[in-house]
Amino acid sequence: FVGNSTYLDDHGPPPEKVLPFPSQVIYNRVGKCGSRTVVLLLRILSEKHGFNLVTSDIHNKTRLTQNEQMELIKNISTAEQPYLFTRHVHFLNFSRFGGDQPVYINIIRDPVNRFLSNYFFRRFGDWRGEQNHMIRTPNMRQEERYLDINVCILENYPECSNPRLFYIIPYFCGQHPRCREPGEWALERAKLNVNENFLLVGILEELEDVLLLLERFLPHYFKGVLSIYKNPEHRKLGNLTVTVKKTVPSPEAIQILYQRMKYEYEFYYYVKEQFHLLKRKFGLKSHIRKRSPRPEFFIPSPLETEEPINDEEEDDEKWLEDIYKR
């Protein structure tokens, strides 16, 4: 005869849930870099793995005042853990305001392709009816909506020139006013933040490898992500986010864009090289070629991962532990 349980009297309350490490992840997603595809995956994964997916309805405010930064950091920090917070917002330095710095992840893509995708998305939307162009940009004049991309570039319209073309780097540089100015200062600060605060920055052209590494680094969040991504039903849903009515500018216009976005390309090449080094550490093969004088626009990259290669330079598990200690 056992009688009434005395477990709580003898042992106190049951232990709290052991949180995975890291339990605070931020995906400060760069616009038109595959983020809607990734968010679709995260919604499925959050249900499957039981983490708290915190999203924001604010899509057009990436630069914040100091008070807005403090308020957002406070709101994020008090979210139930483990959480993954996602929003279009430039890098936030939590430690500056006395908070614990979370782990950051992100994805970028070829800068000119990103710009062109955004240019036509603003005008014509995608295949999803609820986010068509008339809802997204109701005040855009017809002559602006149907402005030829070559005219915009060659005649130096504001939308097709700096500082509006300086778009990707501020997401990694941060909230400092100089992060919005095209130049070496913002570029170097963005690189520093990638090294010190981002667990992974992938490139959209190799998305399947990005997902493989996210599953390896953050299994509590991304376990099984590749099988979901390859599922035909998810592929069908993902196709609805493809921008419609995209056209290719002339070679002359592309060359001008490339010159105007030289800092964006310096950053993109840097991230791409780091990503390929990371893939090597975990046995994923990359075809690293010398930089071409101009980007290879609209040439689709194969997304299939190749057979692993042997690389015994460093134990990958130890390397991952070192990443977490930073």
Q: How would you label 66-79 residue by residue, b for 16+ Cβ within 10 Å and e otherwise?
A: eeebbebbeebbee
Output the pLDDT for position 5.
52
Mean pLDDT over 65-82 rounds to: 96
Output the pLDDT for position 238.
58
Say how far apart CA 186 and CA 11 lie, in whole Å: 55
Exactly one of 11, 49, 59, 88 is catalytic; which is it?
A: 88
Pair 77, 194: CB distance under 8 Å:
no
Mean pLDDT over 261-272 rounds to: 98
Asked which of 58-62, 177-181, 227-231, 311-315 is least confident by mean pLDDT, the reply is 311-315
- pLDDT cut 70: percent of the chain above it: 76
Q: What is the pLDDT of residues 117-139, one digit of tens each?
A: 999 888 887 645 444 555 567 78
Strand pairing partners for 39?
none
Output the pLDDT for position 305.
37
Output the pLDDT for position 309.
35
Assess whether pLDDT exceeds 70 at residue 307. no
Mean pLDDT over 216-223 rounds to: 97
Residue 88 annotated in active site:
yes
Say how far apart CA 284 and CA 262 lie, in whole Å: 29
Tell which wins on pLDDT, 195 or 292. Answer: 195
Q: For the chain, give the number of residues.
A: 326
In order of their start, the domains of the chain are 24-283 (3.40.50.300)
Q: Which residues have a Cβ under 8 Å from the Cβ of 123 and sit 6 or more positions away?
A: 133, 137, 140, 145, 146, 245
